[in-house]
Amino acid sequence: MDTLRTHLKAERGNLSKLAAAIGVTPGAIAQWDKVPADRVVEIERVTGIPRQKLRPDLFEGMEAAE
């Protein structure tokens, strides 16, 4: 979640855009301790942050998709 928070802080207003793109509220994202497993692929698509960085506990050892 730290990677996502850093990304969102670097791009002000991006929290609302991300929330709209994945169909949740900004408040829901703010409450996450970890990116939910069922949201990883969507967030990767919208932000460009590789799933291995979003949830290394789930995708450790997997190569990034090209």
CATH number, domain at 36? 1.10.260.40
Mean pLDDT of the chain: 90
28 lies in some domain:
yes
64 lies in some domain:
no
Where residue 10 falls among pLDDT bands split at 50, 70, 90? Answer: confident
65 lies in some domain:
no
Where residue 51 falls among pLDDT bands split at 50, 70, 90? Answer: very high
52 lies in some domain:
yes
Phi, psi (degrees; rounded to nearest 5) at 49: -80, 125
66 lies in some domain:
no
Residue 25 sits in which domain range?
2-59
Where residue 63 falls among pLDDT bands split at 50, 70, 90? Answer: low
Count of domains in the chain? 1
Give the mean pLDDT of 45-55. 95
